[in-house]
Structure 1
Amino acid sequence: MICIIVYLDHNIRFYLLYQMNIRDLQYLVAVSETRHFGQAAAQCFISQPTLSGQIQKLENELGITLFERTNRSVNVTPIGREITAHARQVVEQVEAIRRLAQSQKDPLTGPLRVGAIPHAEPLPAAPFYTGSAQTAS
């Protein structure tokens, strides 16, 4: 959120401008997928009024209606579908960045390579073998 202070005629006015963030895009994707604010809120671990408020702020910032709401259903508008597709890509990219960063923090992640002699005790390793045999060169 950005706060703008305007000083006019000895009056100070504060204007709060909303800016979308990754969490809002996650909320958008969740509502689009579930088509239900209550289920999307549960999926995002927030209350339904909080989710509704964030979606409303996002709609106000963008100046468009993302969802058509009735008492019985939530439908994604055509522009809402397009924006959700972009939001989904952004969310996936953010998750990829987080996974990459996490993999660098934990040195014990990555492929595990095990060498074995084919004729020496093949049975004990059998439960762990799931891939094709490769020979080192």
Structure 2
Amino acid sequence: MGARSEYFANDDQSNWRSWAIVRTGEELAIGFVAAGQKREGVSEIGYLLAREAQGHGYAREAVAILIDQLLAEGHRRVFADTDPDNQSSIALLTRLGFTLEGCLRAEWQTHIGVRDSLIYGLLAEEWSSRTAG
């Protein structure tokens, strides 16, 4: 494995959990993955990777490990919210088998203005059939 995920924070006031992405044999984090339970059996995921670490499969590996963990905990659905211009995130979600479920128009106020948000979802049975094949 090219990267490993380590638990690094758990805020008791939040339902979000986060793990650092650390290259095997190194100590410096190159990114993180996070999951927040939205309702019983459904979690939103997020991820961030240092620019210099992109393109090596670290995010794909870490997000796949996160999905495995969430489904092992009994989640039936995992989803992610991404900006329509974030082609790297869209490509990652698509490679992992997520389906575009919709566009929330004018969803976020950001430093570059009001932005739409794309919602990608993955069901437990879709992940199971994908990883079994």
Q: Which protein has the bigger strand share?
A: 2
Query: Which of the five TM-score ranges fits, normalised by the shorter chain?
Result: under 0.3
Return the TM-score normalized by structure 2: 0.25
Q: Which protein has the bigger helix share?
A: 1
**Structure number with larger C-alpha Rg:** 1
